[in-house]
Amino acid sequence: MSNSSVGQSLPRPDALGKVTGQTRFSGDLSRPGMLHMKILFADRPHARVKHVETGNAQAAPGVMAVFTARDVPVNEYGLQIPDQPVLCGPGSDKPNTDIVRCMADQIAVVVARTESEAEHAVKMIEVDYEDLPVLTDPLQAMKTDAPILHPDRGDSNICVHYKIHKGDMDAGFKSADVIVEGEYHTPVQEHAYLQPEAGLAYLDEEGRITVEAGGQWTNADQSGISHALGMPDDRVRVIYPAIGGAFGGREDLSVQIVLALAVWKLQQPVKIIWSRRESIVGHGKRHPITIRAKWGATRDGRLVAAENELIGDAGAYMYTSNKVLGNAAITSSGPYFIPNFKTDVYGVYTNQLPSAAFRGFGAPQALFMAELQMNKLAEKLGMDPAEFRLNNALQDGLTMNVGTPAPGPVSIIQCIHAARERFQWNKYRRRRTKPHIRRGRGFAAGFKNVGFSFGYQENCWAKVEIHGDGDIERVIVHHAGAEVGQGTHTVMRQVAAQVIDYPAEKIQLHTSDSATQGNPGSASASRMTFMAGNAIKGAAEAALAKWKTEERPAIAEYKYLAPRTTPFDKETGHSTPNFSYAYVAQAVEVEVDIETGQVRVLRVVSADDVGKAINPDLVVAQIEGAIVQAHGYAVVEDYRTENGRVLTDQLSTYLIPTIRDIPEKVDSVLVEVPDPNGPWGARGLGELPFLPLAPAIAAAIHDATGVWIDEIPFTPERVLRALGRIR
């Protein structure tokens, strides 16, 4: 084919605007007559709002309006369950919306002519609170005598509980020659996308309430907004300008509903930009999870039983905790066949910031446990950790912990081989440099579903237009999938280009507008290449067929439906939860300074089965980016709170990796075992390289120093404490 595009590292269509400063992010937008909004956040984590006095603020210079709970028609929202008030305070029809449950809760919004007038006025709002007991620890919050945070959602703070049970645990452990038990703690992680939340809302030419703010799923944003305003969906339009990173943190709504509310009431454009502090306090975080595990294996290195309990802090609201923790349940076995298996996963409401989607979606936490259990078992058995994994790796036809086989082909074995070979695992020689510097190597693996799970009928819409007369003159692809930086727009063009045999760089994209496009689904769950790829492929094929029958222009819409999945059985977890998985294995080398406790990662080899690399350079870039973010999670980032308040609420206190703080070398190995349903065999990739890094580093620290560290992050102080050098 002359225009073969799939498999080529073509440049990004969005790069030209981004390198010249022409690209508009939501904070860069403006419209004539635009007003400015400032939000009053709760200043405490748990309280009843008795009264909100807005008189002084309303009288302040430049103020156009102040809105509180009583102004919100349907005062609730939430991606999975609408358990969060849009604005907390008295005056709503819905009970308990006067309760503040975390610092991310919003009390009131001020709209003024200028940003500084809004900022000035918001400080003049007086809130009368009645403090309520603050629950910061999920283990406390799940006790029967704990105060209930959501009385209308039952008499317990346990908001999620999944059980997976397969086989006979007693018999399984009885047949084990070695047993490893452990307790693991994984921390909160802040997304820290570089662009803080912002948005511009206005009435479009058809009078629709239009919100331009970065998100991950246009249709979900649209229905969240319309629900709160008590309007039909088609009265609300969501458009995505350029989005400055997301990583899951933009799945839940932030500024959208209050912007829409203000535009609806004032009929004038309104804009808001969050500061970095507002961004850190205002959106959800990665779930911290406490995990207890007991795993057993036979002397010849076969896993026979594993039993886990995961307690995740959901924070104040559900967000996507039910899905994140479901995914943690599935991945808590690691990519291994374990004949007898039991996992209990809990999500618990507390007064911490809500826990939310974040790259990996529950898998990094579960795999931290599973992979360290594997490394510890291998050590006890005196086996090589990669070899031990190969012994137990899932294979086609073997049942997963949910009692059904994984959709094939299962490629974890290929990934383990690939990582081991590139790293030269079997030839590794520990180099000694200085007496206080210790080197070691570590291995870990992982897997992750692609696409939405648990019985949701996965779907994705696309439209392709082919224009011209004799020859094709113009190709237009319509797709609302969010370009959050991952490069999905590039992939979309390549897919259409490949089908139509047309130069990718000439394909026009019409992107992310809920008024003109069908449902793309979220830019999450590593699903966009798989889902949008299939949708655009289908639409392009249909349009091309029309073109060949002389239809001019040739236009086709297509809705891709992925294979069906099923939800967990309540007692056993038996299910076919996912239609596709991707697999990964990593080998790392670290250097530990036993004087300072500092951990340097010298080298990461990441072997990721991407099925088919549609754009290999973008795939490698995703791997590098995910590994550095995972390195932040494992080694650098250290989120601190005190009684529900965020202490690390700036980028000067919540430190994310600079180029000085990252692994010295990241070596990406692209494994390509095609998924039969993926476009050209592609699987999902975005989350995959994140998954095994923390346990691989932990294993390498152990190899270097002899100590296991079962809590992330591996800060110098934690390392020194583990070494017994400080208290």
Residue 285 DSSP one-character state: B
Nearest to 308 by CA among 298, 322, 296: 296
- Respond yes or no on whether the N-terminal peptide bond of residue 95 is cis (omega within 30° of 0): no
Minimal distance, residue 17 CB to other proteins, in Å? 7
> What is the rounded CA–CA span in Å between residue 251 and residue 78?
10
Smaller CB separation from other proteins, 548 or 640: 640
> What is the rounded CA–CA span in Å between residue 550 and residue 309?
61
Minimal distance, residue 674 CB to other proteins, in Å? 24
Minimal distance, residue 646 CB to other proteins, in Å? 11
> What is the rounded CA–CA span in Å between residue 694 and residue 4?
38
Nearest to 558 by CA among 637, 461, 478: 461
What are 375's two structure tokens? 């490394």
Q: Is 35 helix (H, G, I), strand (E, B) or coil?
A: strand
Smaller CB separation from other proteins, 83 or 190: 190
Minimal distance, residue 671 CB to other proteins, in Å? 19
Do 131 and 45 meet the contact criterion of CB atoms below 8 Å apart? no
Smaller CB separation from other proteins, 541 or 617: 617
> What is the rounded CA–CA span in Å between residue 128 and residue 181?
49
Minimal distance, residue 614 CB to other proteins, in Å? 14
Minimal distance, residue 509 CB to other proteins, in Å? 16
Minimal distance, residue 216 CB to other proteins, in Å? 13
Minimal distance, residue 593 CB to other proteins, in Å? 8
> What is the rounded CA–CA span in Å between residue 190 and residue 249?
8
Minimal distance, residue 305 CB to other proteins, in Å? 38
Q: Is 556 helix (H, G, I), strand (E, B) or coil?
A: strand
> What is the rounded CA–CA span in Å between residue 534 and residue 682?
10
In this structure, how many other beta carbons lie within 10 angstroms of the beta carbon of residue 608? 31
Smaller CB separation from other proteins, 24 or 153: 24
Query: In whole angstroms, what separates CA 280 from the centre of its chain?
Result: 16
Smaller CB separation from other proteins, 384 or 661: 661
Task: Note the helical H segments in 382-455.
Answer: 385-392, 412-423
Q: Please provide the DSSP assignment of 647-669 as one string.
A: S--STTTS----GGGS-S-EEEE
Nearest to 200 by CA among 248, 263, 245: 263
161 phi and psi angles, rounded to 5 deg: -150, 115
> What is the rounded CA–CA span in Å between residue 559 and residue 517?
11
Q: Please provide the DSSP assignment of 185-251 as one string.
A: EE-------SS--EEEEEE-TT--EEEEE--S-HHHHHHHHHHHHT--GGGEEEE--B----TTTTS
Minimal distance, residue 423 CB to other proteins, in Å? 18
In this structure, how many other beta carbons lie within 10 angstroms of the beta carbon of residue 666? 22
Smaller CB separation from other proteins, 483 or 589: 483
Contacts of 674 (CB under 8 A, 6+ apart): 409, 611, 612, 680, 681, 682
Minimal distance, residue 694 CB to other proteins, in Å? 16
> What is the rounded CA–CA span in Å between residue 485 and residue 646?
27
Supply angle C-alpha 57, 354, 236, rounded to 5. 65
> What is the rounded CA–CA span in Å between residue 462 and residue 533?
9
Minimal distance, residue 720 CB to other proteins, in Å? 6
Minimal distance, residue 198 CB to other proteins, in Å? 10
Minimal distance, residue 595 CB to other proteins, in Å? 4
Do 446 and 334 meet the contact criterion of CB atoms below 8 Å apart? yes
Minimal distance, residue 191 CB to other proteins, in Å? 8
Smaller CB separation from other proteins, 395 or 648: 648
Smaller CB separation from other proteins, 25 or 295: 25
Smaller CB separation from other proteins, 432 or 434: 434
Nearest to 281 by CA among 211, 190, 156, 383: 190
Smaller CB separation from other proteins, 433 or 652: 652
Smaller CB separation from other proteins, 457 or 653: 653
Smaller CB separation from other proteins, 548 or 725: 725
In this structure, how many other beta carbons lie within 10 angstroms of the beta carbon of residue 362? 30
Minimal distance, residue 511 CB to other proteins, in Å? 15
Smaller CB separation from other proteins, 519 or 648: 648
Structural element, H or E, at residue 619: helix 616-631
- b vs e for 447-486, b when ≥16 Cβ sit within 10 Å of the residue's Cβ? bbbbbbbbeeebbbbbbbbbeeeeebeebbbbbbbbbbbb
Minimal distance, residue 464 CB to other proteins, in Å? 26
Smaller CB separation from other proteins, 18 or 552: 18
N- to C-terminal Cα separation, the chain:
66
Smaller CB separation from other proteins, 62 or 567: 62
Smaller CB separation from other proteins, 11 or 55: 11
Nearest to 136 by CA among 374, 322, 314, 299: 314
Minimal distance, residue 658 CB to other proteins, in Å? 4
Smaller CB separation from other proteins, 561 or 726: 726
Smaller CB separation from other proteins, 141 or 666: 666
